Structure 1
Amino acid sequence: MARDYYEILGVSRDADKEEIKQAYRRLARKYHPDVNKEPGAEDRFKEINRAYEVLSEPEIRERYNRFGEAGVSSGAGAGAGFQDMGDMGGFADIFESIFSGFAGGMGGPTQQRRRSGPVRGDDLRLDLKLDFREAVFGGEKEIRISHLETCEVCSGSGAKPGTRPRTCSTCTGSGQVRRVTRTPFGSFTQVSTCPTCNGTGMVVEDKCDACDGRGANQVTKKLKITIPAGVDNGTRLRISQEGDAGQRGGPPGDLYVYLLVNEDEEFQRDGINVISEIKVSYLQAILGCRLEVETVDGPVELIIPAGTQPNTVMKLENRGVPRLGNPVSRGDHMLTVLIDIPTKVTPDERELLEKLAKIKGDRTGKGGLEGFLGNLFK
């Protein structure tokens, strides 16, 4: 007794066309004879294809829903049978999207043979930590990397000096093997990497002793790199041709250095501006003063105007971070002024503050002066 087509694909009877297509793709990948060698896989694959043929076409699916298998058999419906599907292009497109190695569906032309040529080496990544000031001003840094370098003894061929690699007899130098598979929907050609030469197209019989036939060796080396002024977290630097060596005469890859900037105890960064805080006494804020403050350039004199309020932000122009790519242009250093209010004062200070309160007409209570000054005596 034939199984229900919805059950075969694992979908409900009200599944839409996209759900049916996704279910077919998933099962076809699993049961295709070229990827599943278990007994019964081929029969299961044919069963899946049959279910998709029926359920993917609305008219045929409608007849199946009404009459079952009898409504879609080869003798039923005559002109309204599978001939209504016209060409099989849509189905072949799905099939090819599942198995990327297949080409030339329905017996059509296959892919052109590709001869293996030079292959560029892999790119490498290195994470590098910088101090805050190193990121601001840049400079030279020495790094250590480990990468593949072309063997100097065999010049990358992998063959012992005086010998040469020979053309692979399995793939005749193409680096690929091809196999034709016949399915209910036509012949498909599968292209895969040659297992004998691993896609190189050449076989080394007498291996180079220096690299054991690989054509490259893992080498650790030191490099001096230039860090531009103004870099930040996540800035990426490309060091050309310091990645892994290429194969078969291909160029080496690149080295990408990703920068990570350590936090600073004193400074923070907002784009190209530097941010910090400065604490002054309440008397300095009231009367004004001159103070020496730290910047990324070193100590700088700052004037605190009389009557400065808490959390006032003061700007030191051109004391920030150089603009990346234009070090002449710099941001600013933004300082937030914090007022240091003492929790206790001496009797002499209290006496003076009480006199000041009387001059200003501020009322005082038993707990001390009210408001801002009152907190000093609690």
Structure 2
Amino acid sequence: MSTKRDYYEILGVAKGSSADDIKKAYRKVAMQFHPDRNPGDKAAEEKFKEAAEAYEVLSDADKRARYDRYGHAGVSGNGRGNGPNMEDIFSQFGDIFGDDLFGSFFGGGRRGGGGSRSRGVRGSNLRVKIKLNYEEIAKGVQKNIKVKKYVTCNTCTGSGAKDKSSVQTCSTCGGSGQVRKVTSTFLGQMQTVTTCPTCNGEGSTITAKCSVCKGEGRVYGEETVTIDIPAGVQEGMQLSVGGRGNAGERGGAAGDLIILIEEEQHPELHRDGLNVAFELHISFADAVFGMNAEVPTIDGKAKIKIPPGTQSGKIFRLKGKGFPGVNSYEKGDQLIHVNVWTPQHVTPEEKAILEKLGDSPNFQPKPDKNERSFFDKVREMFS
């Protein structure tokens, strides 16, 4: 069960708020708890990070849709684990507030290494499919999967440079990643801040490229990723593992790994939301005299008692034997639908016995007035 606060509550907006309203709300909260305005205040710093994590999800239409449907489980994984780091936040911060406003309030450009802009180009997201059986879905599971993707170059550790001496501070911007220009207008002097055209905002230039990655800082390879899948996921649900997609270029942040859930069909059970259903076929004699039956469940076998006189279509319920809800204490049931098997071929002797039984008043149909209708049973199944 996740202990994270609701993202809409963090930003102080309603669930149906527009993208503009969410952006405005984030600006307000981020300005309030910005570390430069609250030096040494750890609580404010945590709220600043919390707001950035909420905005990262709610500003992305795909992530927001998954969050609205599945809660934190739909957008969480064990990649970054605690949401975006401070470098990611400040990189995002400049895009939200604008470089001029950011600099005028806090005395600098976006933070990165030594006050410079974030280095490199962010890697792209990856999508993979994972097939789970009913037991894995019911209990949750940890999966180790091999993903073919761009990984950080080990030779240059992602810098793209041949060696440390090949990385030079940009002479145009002095390592800030930005250039400032002061112009005179009829209102007085106006200062503008733009991305440095020489280093593209990275604050440094490479004089000799790495021979392995050719200056990209990444190579195509394979990585084993460990994924914690919560209990109760469903077919078509997507989970996001932050920072485990393609590595970025020249030290840029990695993309996310999107996990698409597929369900492996059970040979005997059928899923219906949180409930699981089983068709139990019994003989006419068993329906008359009653019996003890063993039925399959998600996690093994269970014994149930079929009372004498059970009618075909009777539904028995095993409480709590279904699937759990994602991020909730709700749990479904197992529904056992009884079907009385009618023989298709009988011997002459059996036919004679059945004809004799058919004349008995006890074997004539007598609908029970207290018996619920078919529609009542269906309503119960889905209640």
Task: Give TM-score scaled by structure 1 length.
Answer: 0.54
Query: 115-124 vs 166-175, which deviates more?
Result: 166-175
Letter in 2 for 1:278: L
Tell me if 1:204 matches 2:226: no
Letter in 2 for 1:353: L
Higher relative contact order, structure no. (Cα contacts within 8 Å, ≥ 6 residues apart): 2
Q: Secondary structure at the match of 1:211?
A: coil
Taking the aligned partners of 1:198 and 1:264, their CA distance within structure 2 comes to 54
Deviation at 1:195, TM superposition (A): 8.5
- Is there any run of 5+ residues in structure 2 with no aligned partner, and where? 1-107, 111-115, 180-192, 365-383
Letter in 2 for 1:118: S
Tell me if 1:118 matches 2:130: no
Percentage identity across paired residues of the two chains: 40
Taking the aligned partners of 1:350 and 1:160, their CA distance within structure 2 comes to 91
Distance 1:119 1:275, change over 3 A: farther
Distance 1:119 1:339, change over 3 A: farther
Distance 1:158 1:174, change over 3 A: same
Query: Whose radius of gyration is greater, 1 or 2?
Result: 1
1:341 maps to what in 2?
342
Deviation at 1:170, TM superposition (A): 8.7
1:67-216 pair list within 5 angstroms: 117-118=117-118, 121-122=122-123, 123-166=125-168, 200=202, 202-216=204-218
Letter in 2 for 1:330: K
2:261 maps to what in 1?
259
Taking the aligned partners of 2:196 and 2:215, their CA distance within structure 1 comes to 18
Taking the aligned partners of 2:255 and 2:132, their CA distance within structure 1 comes to 25
How many residues align? The count is 261
CA-atom RMSD, angstroms?
4.5
Taking the aligned partners of 2:362 and 2:226, their CA distance within structure 1 comes to 69
Contact 2:119 2:202 in 1 (8 A): no
Q: Secondary structure at the match of 1:315?
A: strand
Q: Secondary structure at the match of 1:330?
A: coil
Taking the aligned partners of 2:160 and 2:360, their CA distance within structure 1 comes to 95
1:57 maps to what in 2?
none
Taking the aligned partners of 2:363 and 2:268, their CA distance within structure 1 comes to 39
Letter in 1 for 2:215: G
Q: Secondary structure at the match of 2:320?
A: coil
Query: 336-345 vs 220-229, which deviates more?
Result: 220-229
Letter in 1 for 2:246: D
Contact 1:150 1:217 in 2 (8 A): yes
1:318 maps to what in 2?
320
Q: Secondary structure at the match of 1:354?
A: helix
Taking the aligned partners of 1:198 and 1:258, their CA distance within structure 2 comes to 35
Taking the aligned partners of 2:245 and 2:214, their CA distance within structure 1 comes to 21
2:292 maps to what in 1?
290
Kindly provide the CA deviation profile for residues 97-119 of structure 1, in whole angstroms up to 9, marking residues without a partner as x: xxxxxxxxxxxxxxxx9888215
Distance 1:199 1:339, change over 3 A: same
Taking the aligned partners of 1:198 and 1:294, their CA distance within structure 2 comes to 62
Distance 1:141 1:313, change over 3 A: same
Deviation at 1:334, TM superposition (A): 0.5
Q: Secondary structure at the match of 1:342?
A: coil
Kindly provide the CA deviation profile for residues 179-229 of structure 1, in whole angstroms up to 9, marking residues without a partner as x: xxxxxxxxxxxx999897666564422111232211222230222323322
Contact 2:148 2:221 in 1 (8 A): yes
Letter in 2 for 1:158: G
- Is there any run of 5+ residues in structure 1 with no aligned partner, and where? 1-112, 178-190, 364-378
Taking the aligned partners of 2:362 and 2:291, their CA distance within structure 1 comes to 26
Kindly provide the CA deviation profile for residues 44-67 of structure 1, in whole angstroms up to 9, marking residues without a partner as x: xxxxxxxxxxxxxxxxxxxxxxxx
1:56 maps to what in 2?
none
2:279 maps to what in 1?
277
Distance 1:150 1:362, change over 3 A: closer
Letter in 2 for 1:337: V
Contact 1:118 1:246 in 2 (8 A): no
Deviation at 1:344, TM superposition (A): 2.4
Deviation at 1:250, TM superposition (A): 4.5
Q: Secondary structure at the match of 1:229?
A: coil
2:360 maps to what in 1?
359
Taking the aligned partners of 1:126 and 1:163, their CA distance within structure 2 comes to 39
Contact 1:117 1:248 in 2 (8 A): no
Distance 1:362 1:297, change over 3 A: closer
